[in-house]
């Protein structure tokens, strides 16, 4: 388990490069009559780039008109959004509104789409109307363990919610406020054929009727929940009636992953705070730092890896008996989960973060942030231990604990603060080391093609700084690509110019095809604090739409009952309801003047009748807090009750043509 990897020289001598330039090497001439002289080496020298840096520039540049090979979908962290970057250029291609409204997209303000998705995704019994989220872990839908590029799921850690983004139009179609979760962390992951998307609680929830329970009754009255949300295969939506939860002890359930191939049918969740500490650093006005969770929740040498057999769980809820319903969700009680072989525990080094299943499904890799080792559990051993009931006992809630020595395959010393592991196509694992600010590359075992060199540290790459998660190309599938890795560094410190008191994070792109690994570029992240990302080959996004069918409601993918074609524009009064069937086309609305009276409800039904991709129009009525974005072919509805007289400008917010500014009109509200 010693570090066999070579020490990596991070800089090459600039002298060689400058020397080359000075020699006026004809071969590198690029024929442009520029002031630089046109020699690549001279240009690099002129800009003060080292050889490594010049290589990074050339390896990452993607010219306009050529497309990045991969896309990454990054959670926006507490911006509530999703970020789409190209790889290797690391250019931000799109910010998708997920849990936050965004006037720039269909979500808008005052539109049916935005309000419907956001309102339906916020359970009034759980919280006020939510307009933010703490996005954490995106997951792409899979077919046979491969990303299929159809749907994307992401959780709101804060509010125990999960959203579905449709990768045909990159719009959020559904937010589901998961019952019985107050926060969530264990997921999202999808099962290999997107049967389910999993999300489990982080802080356990009081399960009392009032929602209140004193912390003194933590063990009795608080519970975690592992949630298996069934997916409609056509629409990608969550189907609550086919979904279920498994009750868990009030530990803090952390990251999770799905079994695949050898471990298909299983799910894995890490946990910490099996001490069930509840903090309390201040008591009667006195401060006792030793009572902080960071001390009291880290006492046990081992916490519990949760091993869940979701196929057994599915059969159990199918049978109906013994299943409770809690806040509208079917729940398998903890006792049944333990007794029916649905839930097993295995000891894992204290306070782990990542649990990651390798591409073959044989190895479950645990990174324990307070343990310098990666701990590898084999699925063969786990299955055998379960079959033979090889238990070291049960936890206080009666969950059987598998014997550690029976299920642990290997431990590999990596460094300080290991958090999360990803995989390549050659049987190597890559684990982030938060405290060491490094990435450890290490070999897996025989089932991953290694034998003599199994389970050994190969190489350590310094990063800048304090890496959280990391991702490799198609790294969560049964066949990763190797190729690229992105380090999601939490601190950037000296890497970017100061832009205020809150600094960007740093995504570093690493080339995995070289030995040793090569750092290619640094990318500041100036929006949110991404926690995890998925990297998918761009050519897998086959379904991305360039243009809606005329009159489409993107929420249903069918023709909106309010759609019109050119010439069908009209205003219909039905009592105090004024239905305005409006078209938008460069560079005017039809109708462009609406005459209404105080107390009317204007119901705008706006069809963008353009047939040109990207000919998006906006529609804002500033004085009345309306702001919509309407893609070509799309229909947006806006209901507006007029409680104030006035003559209000309406205008197109999207710079659509040379006469874009003339695309405006008036809403008259007579007193």
Instruction: Show contacts with its own copies in window 286-345 (CB under 8 A).
Output: 287, 289, 292-294, 297-298
Residue 430: strand pairing partners: 422, 441
Interface pick for its own copies out of 111, 421, 629, 637 (rule CB under 8 A): 629
Instruction: Show contacts with its own copies in window 78-107 (CB under 8 A).
Output: 78-80, 83-84, 86, 90-96, 100-105
Give the SS3 label for residue 102: coil
Residue 227 sits in the site that holds its own copies (CB under 8 A): no
| Least Å from the CB of residue 568 to its own copies | 10
DSSP E strands, 12-170: 70-75, 81-87, 92-97, 135-143, 146-156, 161-166
| Interacting span for its own copies (CB under 8 A) from 75-83, 147-155, 235-243, 439-447 | 75-83
Residue 536: strand pairing partners: 71
Those residues whose C-beta lies under 8 Å from the C-beta of residue 191, and which sit 6 or more positions away, are: 142, 197, 198, 258, 267, 310
DSSP secondary-structure letter at 159? T
Q: Which tokens in the block code for residue 425?
A: 């196509």
Which CB atom, from 224 or from 445, has the smaller least distance to its own copies? Answer: 224
Residue 72 sits in the site that holds its own copies (CB under 8 A): no
Please report, for the chain, how many H helices and E strands are present, in that order.
10, 47
Count of positions on this chain that bind its own copies (CB under 8 A): 212
Residue 130 sits in the site that holds its own copies (CB under 8 A): yes
How far apart (Å, rounded) are the C-alpha atoms in residues 71 and 410?
34
Residue 57: exposure state from Cβ atoms within 10 A (0-12, 13-18, ≥19): middle
Residue 16 sits in the site that holds its own copies (CB under 8 A): yes
Instruction: Show contacts with its own copies in window 150-179 (CB under 8 A).
Output: 158-160, 168-171
Residue 87: strand pairing partners: 70
Those residues whose C-beta lies under 8 Å from the C-beta of residue 597, and which sit 6 or more positions away, are: 642, 669, 670
Which CB atom, from 34 or from 321, has the smaller least distance to its own copies? Answer: 34
Instruction: Show contacts with its own copies in window 348-407 (CB under 8 A).
Output: 351, 353, 369-370
Interface pick for its own copies out of 223, 503, 540, 605 (rule CB under 8 A): 503
| Least Å from the CB of residue 476 to its own copies | 20
Q: Whose CA is closest to 94, among 176, 148, 150, 171?
A: 171
Q: Whose CA is closest to 507, among 485, 492, 487, 530?
A: 487
Residue 599 sits in the site that holds its own copies (CB under 8 A): no
Residue 21 sits in the site that holds its own copies (CB under 8 A): yes
| Least Å from the CB of residue 233 to its own copies | 21
| Interacting span for its own copies (CB under 8 A) from 393-401, 442-450, 477-485, 657-665 | 657-665
Which CB atom, from 260 or from 441, has the smaller least distance to its own copies? Answer: 441
Residue 565 sits in the site that holds its own copies (CB under 8 A): no
| Least Å from the CB of residue 319 to its own copies | 33
Q: Whose CA is closest to 594, among 570, 576, 561, 610?
A: 570
Instruction: Show contacts with its own copies in window 244-283 (CB under 8 A).
Output: 252, 254, 272-273, 278-282
DSSP secondary structure string for all residues of 484-501: EEEEEES--TTSS---SS
Cis peptide before 516 (omega within 30 of 0): yes
| Least Å from the CB of residue 70 to its own copies | 10
Residue 1 sits in the site that holds its own copies (CB under 8 A): no
Q: Whose CA is closest to 355, among 440, 273, 259, 420?
A: 420
Interface pick for its own copies out of 120, 211, 299, 325 (rule CB under 8 A): 211
Instruction: Show contacts with its own copies in window 508-547 (CB under 8 A).
Output: 508, 511, 513-514, 518, 521-529, 531, 538, 541, 544-547
Residue 241 sits in the site that holds its own copies (CB under 8 A): no
């Amino acid at each position: 388990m010693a570090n066999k990897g070579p020490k990596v020289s991070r800089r090459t001598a600039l002298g060689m490069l400058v020397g080359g330039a000075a020699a006026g090497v004809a071969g590198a001439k690029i024929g442009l009559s520029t002031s630089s002289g046109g020699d690549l080496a001279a240009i690099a020298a002129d800009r003060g780039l080292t050889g490594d840096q010049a290589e990074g520039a050339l390896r990452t540049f993607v010219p306009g008109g050529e497309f990045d090979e991969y896309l990454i979908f990054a959670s926006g962290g507490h911006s509530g959004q999703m970020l789409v970057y190209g790889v290797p250029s690391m250019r931000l291609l799109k910010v998708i509104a997920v849990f936050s409204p965004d006037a720039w997209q269909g979500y808008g303000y005052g539109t049916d789409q935005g309000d419907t998705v956001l309102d339906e995704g916020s359970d009034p019994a759980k919280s006020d109307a939510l307009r933010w989220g703490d996005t954490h872990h995106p997951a792409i839908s899979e077919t046979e363990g491969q990303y299929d590029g159809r749907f994307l799921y992401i959780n709101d850690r804060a509010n125990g919610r999960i959203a579905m983004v449709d990768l045909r139009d990159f719009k959020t179609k559904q937010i589901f406020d998961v019952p019985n979760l107050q926060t969530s962390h264990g997921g999202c992951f999808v099962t290999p054929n997107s049967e389910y998307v999993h999300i489990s609680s982080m802080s356990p929830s009081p399960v009392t009727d009032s929602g209140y329970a004193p912390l003194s009754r933590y063990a009795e009255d608080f519970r975690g929940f592992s949630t298996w949300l069934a997916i409609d295969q056509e629409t990608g939506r969550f189907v609550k009636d086919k979904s279920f939860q498994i009750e868990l002890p009030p530990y803090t359930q952390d990251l999770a992953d799905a079994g695949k191939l050898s471990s298909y049918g299983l799910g894995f969740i890490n946990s910490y705070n099996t001490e069930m500490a509840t903090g309390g650093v201040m008591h009667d006005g006195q401060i006792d730092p030793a009572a902080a969770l960071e001390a009291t929740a880290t006492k046990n040498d081992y916490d519990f890896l949760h091993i869940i057999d979701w196929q057994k769980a599915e059969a159990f809820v199918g049978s109906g008996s013994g299943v409770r319903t809690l806040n509208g969700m079917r729940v398998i009680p903890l006792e049944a989960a333990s007794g029916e072989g649905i839930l097993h525990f295995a000891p894992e080094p204290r306070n782990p973060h990542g649990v990651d299943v390798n591409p073959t499904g044989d190895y479950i890799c645990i990174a324990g942030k307070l343990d310098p080792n990666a701990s590898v559990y084999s699925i063969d051993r786990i299955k055998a231990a379960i079959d033979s009931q090889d238990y070291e006992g049960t936890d206080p809630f009666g969950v059987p604990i598998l014997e550690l020595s029976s299920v642990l395959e290997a431990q590999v010393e990596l460094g300080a603060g290991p958090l999360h592991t990803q995989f390549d196509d050659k049987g190597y694992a890559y684990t982030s080391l938060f405290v060491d600010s490094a990435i450890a590359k290490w070999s897996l075992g025989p089932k991953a093609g290694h034998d003599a060199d199994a389970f050994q540290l190969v190489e350590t790459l310094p990063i800048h700084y304090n890496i959280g998660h990391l991702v490799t190309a198609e790294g969560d599938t049964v066949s990763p690509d190797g190729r690229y890795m992105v380090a999601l560094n939490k601190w950037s410190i000296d890497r970017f110019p100061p832009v205020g008191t809150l600094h960007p994070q740093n995504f570093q792109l690493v080339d995995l095809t070289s030995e040793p690994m090569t750092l290619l570029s640094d990318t500041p992240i100036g929006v949110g604090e991404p926690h995890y990302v998925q990297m998918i080959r761009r050519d897998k996004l086959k379904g991305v739409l360039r243009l809606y069918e005329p009159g489409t409601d993107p929420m249903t993918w069918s023709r909106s009952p309010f759609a019109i074609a050119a010439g069908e524009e009209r205003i219909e009064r039905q009592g105090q309801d004024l239905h305005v069937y409006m078209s938008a086309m460069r560079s005017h609305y039809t109708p462009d003047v609406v005459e209404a009276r105080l107390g009317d409800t204007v119901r705008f039904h706006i069809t963008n009748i353009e047939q040109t991709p990207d000919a998006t129009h906006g529609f804002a009525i500033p004085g009345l807090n309306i702001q919509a974005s309407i893609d070509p072919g799309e229909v947006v509805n806006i209901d507006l009750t007029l409680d104030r007289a006035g003559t209000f400008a309406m205008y197109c917010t999207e710079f659509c043509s040379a006469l874009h500014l003339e695309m405006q009109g008036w809403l008259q509200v007579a007193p």
